[in-house]
Structure formats: structure tokens, C-alpha cells
Structure 1
Amino acid sequence: MADTLNVNEIIEDFPILKQQVNGKRLAYLDTTATSQKPLQVIEAIDDYYKRYNSNVHRGVHTLGSLATDGYEGARETVRRFINAHYFEEIIFTRGTTASINLVARSYANISEGDEIVVTEMEHHANIVPWQELAHRKNASLKFIPMTETGELNIEDVKATINDKTKIVAVAHVSNVLGTINDVKEIAKVAHEHGAIISVDGAQAAPHMKLDMQDLDVDFYSFSGHKMLGPTGIGVLYGKRDLLKNMEPIEYGGDMIDFVGKYDATWTDLPVKFEAGTPLIAQAIGLAEAIKYLENIGFDAIHAHEKELTEYAYEQMSQVEDLEIYGPPKDRRAGVITFNIKDIHPHDVATALDTEGVAVRAGHHCAQPLMKWLGQSSTARASFYIYNTKEDIDQLVYALKQTKEFFSYEF
């Protein structure tokens, strides 16, 4: 584990970054949507399919045993990575969205008149499942107010959560604003009122060291594809006692204990929530991605992203008529969401692509937040371990070129 990050060595591990786009070097600034994958992850998945492809848990032959070891070994890697107490607390899902939906569909301790508390900065995946739960149970949905910079004030948290609150759902890091929420303190407030907290960690897990014992959250969800792993794999962490009392939402092979003609019983955690053939190759790839990140070290990752974000914030702030949304540069994750006056963000993103710069444009699956910002959509640049100041300089140059092009009177 290094104290500093050698970005040039890291870039060598990512074959996709060596290409040109529209004749320009690729500056990939869309990691918040999905990260690129290092050779180590690609080769780990390839090795599974080439050498020991088999189903898990059921077979006693050599390939089945190797596949089971790889899959369950990945679960242990995740458990250690987030410092969960028990392997039963690690449920593999298709991604953050599936993990949150599992909680919303299975956690039953909510009744008519109860309250579910969320924020306006949430991704749709952390709003819509709770809307549906509120409709289903005739409960109420409440929103913690945000400050002018798109952050949460702990006094507002305390004023919103009360004894009627049964679930608090909040993002660890906003995918739009880069706001970093104090989920440990929010969890403390929730627990004081007998509520549980479910955290969307999709934008936190790739960038910061996680400790479920320290955070003391009840559920925590994240995705593999945003942290160098493959698509189609996610994690739901849940406290064991809560998961034991929850019913599965998918039924079929592997998750059963006994099946008769007219009824069935369920097997133990964590397989109770993993019906059918599991995500074997994806889990193995995720474990390799975690090892890759841990080898770099999250202190080095944080320092690198902080330097890039502050540099980008300063350089982009000098572009005339460009507005940046969210917290100041020293209180945000590696995400900068912005608009240029009188230019639609989709036009901005298209123009940047002609210069080899990949950014995201749209409502970022956060329409309530867009309404709060008073915008229909925005552009977004995000940074990770394989980005450099050269990428940011390329972005800023492309932004100036874009502004000049659209201000030209034909």
C-alpha cells in the first residue's frame, strides 16, 4: 500500500485509456457513471471462464469446488473490505439499485402513518423504492432540507427525524453535487428514534475506506462497476439480525431449504437472498477490483482525487459564464456538475466529445435535485485514480472552444 499514487503506472493497467476519440487523446471524466476496468480485473474474469467455469454450491467435482471457493472467497473479500462482522451480512445483488429495492421490498417494520425520511439529492434508485413503499404501506415520505450549497445541516436532520420515522435513506456521496454526507451522525440520530438507516454507497465505496462498525448503519448498498469491477454485480450489507427477520423477494434454486408440493422453507443467510445461479464471474471480478484499490491505498486515492478536484474547480471557475453547483472545492468528492450559460448541457457534452473529453449530461437520475437547482439538466465531470491534470486541462480547453463556437454569430 503506497502513500502516494503513481498515476502513470495505473494508466498502464487500463487498455481502454490508450485509444483516441475523434483523433484526440481520451480524457475519460465519467467515472461517476461507470469506471474503467484494469487488466487485473479483466484477466481474473477471463481466468474463471477459461479455467474453472462451473456453477457453485451444488457440485462436488473439481471445477465446482474451485468456482465455489472463488465466489465465497469474493464474499469474504467484501466482508473484510467494509469491515462487516459476519459473512452472512454480505448479499450479492445486481447492483446498488437492486440492493436498495431488496431492502424496500423485504424490510417489513413499517405501517400506516409511519414516516420514511430521504433527501432531495438522492439518485432515483434511492427515492423511487421508498416512494413505492410509502404508497404500499400508506406511510409518509419526508425530505431533509438542504443548505444553499446542497449539503445537510445536522440540526435539520434532527428536526426532520422523529419517533414516527421508521427508515432513513440517504446517499453517502451525491452523484451530482459531490456532497459527502455524515452518515455516521445521521445513523446516530435515526437510532435515537428507533429508526433504521439505509445508505446508498454507490459513489462512496470506490473512493473511501468503509467501516460498517464505525458508521453503524443498518444497510449499505454499492455497485462493482463504479469501483473498477464488472457490471451486473452489487453488494447489500445488512446487519445480521435485521436480515434474519426479512423475507426473500426472489424464489427458486439455491435459496431453499426444503420444497414440498405446496410449501417451502428457506435456507440460511446469505444465500436466502440469492436465488438462482449467482453472479459468479462478476463477484470474482469485484474481489479483484477491491484488491487493486486496496493495493493502491485509500489515503493515496483520496489525496489524488482531492488534488484533481480542487484543480479542476479552480480552472473551470475561470471559464466565463460557467456555473458550478454544490459545495465548495474543499468539501466535495471528485464530481463537478456545471452548466454554461445559454448552451444546453447535451450540446456541451457533444462538443467536448469532439475534443476527446467524455463527460455526462442530463438529469443524472436525480430529477428532484434538478428541480431544486432550477435546472432541467446539467453537465458533469468526475475524476478517479487514472485521471491527471492533463485530462482537466483538456476539459477546460474544450470548454473554452465550445463556448467560443456557440457564441459565434453565423
Structure 2
Amino acid sequence: MSHQNLESLDVEAIREQFPILQREFDGQQVVYLDNAATTQTPDRVVDAMSDYYRQTNANVHRGIHHLSQEASIAYEEAHDRVAEFINADGREEVIFTKNTTEGENLVAYSWGLNELGPGDRIVLTEMEHHASLVTWQQIGERTGADVEYIRVDETGRLDMDHARELITDDTAIVSAVHVSNTLGTVNPVSELTELAHEHGALSFIDGAQAVPNRPVDVKDIDADFYAFSGHKMAGPTGIGVLYGKRDLLEEMEPYLYGGGMIRKVTFEDSTWGDLPWKFEPGTPPIAEAVGLHEAVDWLEDVGMERIQAHEEEIAAYAYERLAAEDDVEIYGPEPGPDRGGLVSFNLEGVHAHDLASIMNDHTVAVRAGDHCTQPLHDKLGVPASTRASFYVYNTREEVDKLVAALDDARALFA
């Protein structure tokens, strides 16, 4: 990323679009460094959803009246916009879910329960979020399929030699996180997908920490399934996306049933509607889809390359500042092309939850705990870590406030 790109990003103008960043607690302006959990939402996304409720609110695909037609068009256009954003082949490959976790479960139940059995292998990584790890673990228990984990090496990267050992002709699916929400590692997902395909297996990529902050092209990755969440990409909560290759989605049986996803129903039998509606039963998240559409427009107006460059620059600065502290341990790779925009760390002698509480006294919002990666923390030999995660509106000055708060923690626990 060029220095010119960084300079051309007007962070202060961006920050003005997020009133929450101007909030104060006890006279201190909030420093929001919990973006891996949820990013903040710009005014125009909130306005788009508010306008929908004020002007268009109606159920989709159910009514002949004007409002229902308008709502249906807005909902369908949101699918089209997301498909364009990730370079999918149209709305048929874009399923709206509640979040990334539901995307994992949709594939696990619709595909996994029907296709897996004893002798099949599910390959995950040791850095998987519980959304992937727990889901496939349960599917393994129900089907008799074996679950194996690609090792994480001492640098926080995947051991690709081990991956090549695990991914064999017995492998049915490889499910891997694109960017680790704990280590910040950017995994070689195209290489993992290629390995899976060489052995006749499918690939599922968890893109929750990738789509918000870097250009993602599902065709380039060639993943069979790719999932992400609206609330981590300047959009609303309550909506996520599952991308799937059309031929696979057409073959899969739905695992949620009801209105809106059927073609014909009799007392004896039912048939399913076209994609993507086949996997979207009931009243869908219509206002949230409108908000997600607007969020995608906003992201592209800012520029995904510039968002990635800025986030990585702030994260690298945070890594550098924290690495200079003798009593701080940082997890994951050093800054570079395979590290994203977050830093997880521990301060010697201070539990992560205590440190996060002290940070909060300085109005610095960070995350503490196992970040839904308990097995990875077990491997690291720590019960929890403190995570600072960055986005397009964060600044170096905010990182400085984070580091300054460490002195208070040292004084309290000396």
C-alpha cells in the first residue's frame, strides 16, 4: 500500500460520520478499539434504514401493493449489491443470514448432515472461531466424521506442511478462517481451497474479519462457501451473508422451513423455491438488508484498498508501541502482508479482564477474554488476552492512549 493512499484518506472527515465516536464518559472522549467484535455504523447507513421504515416498510414477496413491491425490490437489490461487492455470480449465490455463525450452521446442517459419515474427514484450523469449530465438531459427532485441526506454529501462522498431511482424499470439507480474530493472521485461503479441491473436498472460508477491511473476490479465492457479517463492516446487526457456488446451493436441502422459501405445498409434500429464497424462510431482515446495501456503498466510496492500508498502518503502529514494552506479550505474526488490523496481547501480572477494566477507566474500549477461540488460548498457554482491533476511523493518538493506560495497570498491580 502506498504512502499516498494513506495520506489521501481523510480520517477526521470519516470520524464525523460516526456520532458515537464523539461520545464522552466522565469528560473523556471514547476511544473505540473493539472493531473485531462490531464496527460502528455511519450516519448514512442509519439514515437508509430509517428512511426504509418511514417510507417503504412492508413485507417482501407477499403483496401486490406498492409498498410491498418497493420493499421487495430494495431487498432483492441488496442481494445484487453484495454479489457485486464480493464478485459472486449474481443474487442466487448470496444468502442473507443473521450472521457468520448462521452461515456456518446452514452449510453444516444442509450439506454436512446429509453428506458426511464415518471415514470422512473435516479439516479445521487451530485458530478457528467457535462459530466454525463448535459447529463442525457437533456435525462430526452426529455423522461419525473425524475432525482434524491444522496446527498453528510458534509465529501464529498455519503450518502448511501439516495442512498437506491432513488434507487427503478422505477429506470432505476444509473450513478455515480468512483472518484470525485473535492472532490477526491472514491465512492463505486460496492455497487451502486449492488443496481441498485437489482432493475432491469443499472449502468453507469464514470471512468475518476479512470482508470489512480488504478487497475480497470469491472467484479468485475459489471457495465453495464464504460467510461474513454486516455488523463488522459498518452495517447493521442481525444480517450476515453466506456466499455459495450456485450448483452446490441448488443441490443442498434447506434446514429451515416455512413461508417464503417454498414453490408448492400440499398436505402430502412441499417443493422449494428458487435461490436464494430457498434458504431464507419467513420474514427476512429487510431493513437490515437496506442498511447492508448502504454500508457496501459507503465502503466502496471510501475505497477498500485505502481502508486496508489505513487499518494495517494503525495496527502496525500499535504492535510497534506495545512491542517496545518489556512486560507485554503479543500474539500472532509481526506486521506484514499476513497480519490484519488487530493486536492481542497480555500485560505481565495483570489478567486481561482487569486490564480491560482499567482501559475502560480511560474510556478506551478493548475486548478481553478468549475471543471465542478457547482452544487456541489453551495452545498459547493463557486463559485470556486483551485485544485492540482497529478500523478506518481509528488514529495513532488513540493507540497512544491505549499504551498510556498500561502505566495505571502496572501501578495498581505492582
Q: Is the 8 A contact 1:319 1:400 kept in 2?
A: no
Tell me the distance in 2 between the aligned counterparts of 1:47 and 1:72.
17
1:116 Cα deviation (Å)? 0.2
| 8 Å Cα contact 1:3/1:299 also seen in 2 | no
State whether structure 2 residue 69 is matched by structure 1 residue 65: yes
Superposition map of 1:174-213 within 5 A:
174-213=180-219
Give the deviation of 1:19 after TM superposition.
0.7
1:274 equivalent in structure 2 = 280
Which whole-Å CA distance do the structure 1 matches of 2:317 and 2:191 have between them? 30
Cα displacement string for residues 282-315 of structure 1 (whole angstroms, at most 9, x for unaligned residues) = 1110111111010011111111112111111111
Residues 18-27 or 130-139, more deviating:
18-27
Native 8 Å contact 2:84 2:90 kept in 1: no
Q: Does 1:244 align with 2:253?
A: no
Where does residue 259 of structure 2 map in the other structure?
253
TM-score in terms of structure 1 length: 0.97
Distance in 1 (alpha carbons) for counterparts of 2:6 and 2:254? 42
Q: How does 1:1-400 map to 2 (within 5 A)?
A: 4-107=8-111, 108-330=114-336, 331-400=338-407
Aligned AA (2:366): V
Shift of 1:86: 2.6
C-alpha distance in 1, partners of 2:383/2:276?
41
> Is the CA contact (8 Å cut-off) linking 2:6 and 2:309 kept in structure 1?
no
* Structure 2: gaps (5+ residues): none
CA distance in 2, matches of 1:305, 1:265: 46
> Residues 2, 382 of structure 1: CA spacing in aligned structure 2 closer, same or farther, 3 A cutoff?
closer
Shift in alpha-carbon separation, 1:4–1:158, aligned structure 2, 3 A: farther
The separation in 2 between residues aligned to 1:212 and 1:102, in whole angstroms, is 18
**Distance in 1 separating the partners of 2:241 and 2:42:** 20
Offset, 1:155? 2.2
Name the % identity.
Answer: 51
> TM-score if structure 2 supplies the norm length?
0.96
Find the residue that maps to 2:233 and give its secondary structure: coil
- Distance in 1, matches of 2:7 and 2:346, equals 35
Offset at residue 187 of structure 1 (A): 0.4
Partners of 2:224 and 2:116 lie apart in 1 by 15
One-letter identity of the residue aligned with 2:291: G
Shift of 1:63: 0.8
Q: Structure 1 residue 2: deviation in Å?
A: 9.5
Query: Which is bigger in relative contact order (C-alpha 8 A, separation at least 6)?
Result: 1
Measure, in 1, the Cα distance between the counterparts of 2:169 and 2:105.
Answer: 24
Distance 1:151 1:269 in 2: 37
Please identify runs of 4+ aligned residues in structure 1 that moved more than 4 A: none
SS at match of 1:225: helix
Whether contact under 8 Å (1:209, 1:298) holds in the other structure is yes
SS at 1:235's partner residue?
strand
Q: Quote how far apart the aligned CAs of 1:65 are.
A: 1.1
**Aligned-partner SS, 2:184:** coil
Hey, what's the Cα distance between the residues in 2 that align with 1:51 and 1:249? 34
Greater alpha carbon shift after TM alignment, 15-24 vs 249-258: 15-24
CA–CA separation in structure 2 for the residues paired with 1:223 and 1:105:
19
Count of equivalent residues: 407
Cα deviation code 1:138-163 (max 9, x no counterpart): 01001111111111133222111000
Residue 401 of structure 1 is matched in structure 2 by 408
* Whole-angstrom CA distance in 2 between matches of 1:154 and 1:131: 22
Question: Does the aligned pair in 1 maintain the 2:342–2:390 contact within 8 Å?
Answer: yes
Query: 1:215-268: per-residue Cα shift (whole Å, max 9, x none)?
Result: 100000000000010000000000000001111111110101111112211111
Distance 2:350 2:383 in 1: 12
Answer whether contact 1:338 1:379 (CA < 8 A) is retained. yes
RMSD: 1.2
Counterparts of 1:22 and 1:164 in 2: how far apart (Å)?
Answer: 59
CA-CA distance at 1:171 after TM superposition? 0.1
